[in-house]
Chain A
Amino acid sequence: GPKVLQIPSHQIIDMGQMVTLNCDPVSNHLYFYWYKQILGQQMEFLVNFYNGKVMEKSKLFKDQFSVERPDGSYFTLKIQPTALEDSAVYFCASSFRNSDYTFGSGTRLLVI
């Protein structure tokens, strides 16, 4: 079936640096999401995005986080600056309308 691609699959970055996580959603999907999963824990909602705007964000979505999808290209999550507690697996998801989310395989981010 259709897939959500996440690039890169792994990223190691120095604390304080900027990182951009890329998500290539399913082509006809309209809603985009980022979730954060710390090792061994549940997946937690960060943000959802529709029609060029953030629709809802959680308290985990700190001021250092931003999302965008310029010109229908990748849906990106940018963290600037990064902190040690940002180490986690970040999952992108997309959906068309009916809550049938398609999840990517995740980007494993390690901040050192």
Chain B
Amino acid sequence: AQSVTQPDARVTVSEGASLQLRCKYSYSATPYLFWYVQYPRQGLQLLLKYYSGDPVVQGVNSFEAEFSKSNSSFHLQKASVHWSDSAVYFCALSMNYNQGKLIFGQGTKLSIKP
């Protein structure tokens, strides 16, 4: 069965430091992968997505992610975090390019230390 795993429930980094949020997926075919951010009491906002091609994808607010088929991973990264990046981040997988349900990871709560 398809699944997405985010091994870190909570991550704390200092403002200005670099960030990596981990995401591993399980799916036998080509996955379509997403990172979403959820601020308190809001819906999910898309940060970036990977469909095909260059395994490094750029997203909003200087986030990027790298797809690795060999490692079944899609880690999210940012060179320098800001306090406003504090939120919950969800990795998600879709099995259908045009349509289909999203399978979400458990989420990683990111806290930024001043």
Contact = CB atoms under 8 A, between A and B. Distances in A.
Contact of B46 (A48, A100, A104): A100
B77 interface: no
A12 interface: no
Contact of A42 (B42, B43, B99, B104): B104
Contacts of B17: none
B49 A56 contact: no
B88 to A, nearest CB: 9
B100 interface: yes
Interface in B46-87: 46, 49
Given A101-B46, A105-B43, A42 B90 contact: yes
Nearest to B96: A99
B28 interface: no
Interface of B: 32, 36, 41-46, 49, 90, 94, 96-107
A103 B49 contact: no
A28 interface: no
A55 B41 CA distance: 29
A43 B90 contact: yes
Given A43-B104, A45-B101, A56-B101, A99 B44 contact: no
Nearest to B4: A42
B101 A91 contact: no
Contacts of B42: 105-106
Nearest to A47: B101
Among all A-B residue pairs, the 7 with the closest Cβ atoms = A103-B43, A45-B101, A103-B44, A42-B104, A105-B43, A42-B106, A43-B104
A58 B100 CA distance: 12
Q: Which of B46, B99, B104 has the most CB of A within 10 A?
A: B99
Contacts of B41: 105-106
